[in-house]
Each structure stands twice: as structure tokens, then as C-alpha cells.
Amino acid sequence: MRSVYEEAGGDEGLRRLADAWHRRVMADEVVSHAFSHGFRPDHLERLASYWAEALGGPTSYSDQYGDETLVVRLHSGNGPHDDMDRRAIDCFDEALADAGLTAEPLRQLLHDYFAWATTTTMNRYHDSADDVPAGLTIPRWSWAGLV
């Protein structure tokens, strides 16, 4: 059986998804606030690389950019933001269609992964990014869910 990464189109498919999701969140009045401070010029490449690694692809994100601790710290210390999280998930679901990733069971698995990551790992440390422990590894997902 092909990996989730392969079924999603590999690097190219996840880059399309990252681009579609970013366009959607930038157009959302609530979620776009997360990017009001700006973002790196290579944000889409980094995001696609992160998703690729999480979904069974190469370890390019960890090899080039950092570990899960870095990613979670970027998303921490902002207090609870449940409405923003829900809207980010809605944007992701719409981006799946934009990127042509609508075949089941892939679409449902990608939704489940993104919803889990958004509401669990990226939403765990409300008070301070300093609370995030060092040495976290990127969680990996397969067809059976969290590995």
C-alpha cells in the first residue's frame, strides 16, 4: 500500500495543498490574524515539507529546518483560540478540494490529521512557548492514524 504522502501526490501534491490552504487562511478574517506579524518567504515550502514528513515522506523538514519543538513553539503562547482553530480546519478542508485531494479515504485522513495537529499538538501550550519541551519529534501519520 502506498503511503499517505505518496497518495497525496508527494512533495508536489503537498506543495499544492500548502499553497491552497495559505490562500484560504489569508482570505479569512479570523485566521489571517495569525499571519499579521508576517511570515517567512519560504513558508509554503517549509509547511509542505513538514506535512510531507508527518505523512510518511522524507525527513526533509527535520533535516533542513528543525524539530517539532520549533514548530510547536511557533504556535504557542497565544492563549486559547478555538474559533481560529475551527476556521483553520475549515480552510484546510476547502484547500483539499482546491488541491484536488478529494478521493476517499485520503481526504478524510488528511482532515483528521490536520484537525488533530491543530487542536492537539499546536494548541497545547497556551501560556508560553517556553513551556514546550525540547527534543520533540514530528508526529507521523499513516492510514491507521497516529503512529
The predicted pLDDT at position 72 comes to 84
The predicted pLDDT at position 36 comes to 64
The predicted pLDDT at position 83 comes to 85
The predicted pLDDT at position 77 comes to 59
C-alpha distances in Å from residue 109, one per residue of 49, 84, 96, 131, 143: 18, 21, 11, 30, 7
Domain that holds residue 14: 4-146
Could you say which residues of the chain have pLDDT below 50?
Answer: none
pLDDT digits (tens, 9 = 90+) for 38-75: 677 888 999 999 999 999 999 999 999 999 888 888 77
Which CATH number fits the domain that encloses residue 16? 1.10.490.10
In degrees, rounded to 5, the angle at the alpha carbon of residue 1 between the alpha carbons of residues 99 and 136 is 70
The predicted pLDDT at position 69 comes to 83
Q: Domain total for the chain?
A: 1
The mean pLDDT value of the chain amounts to 91
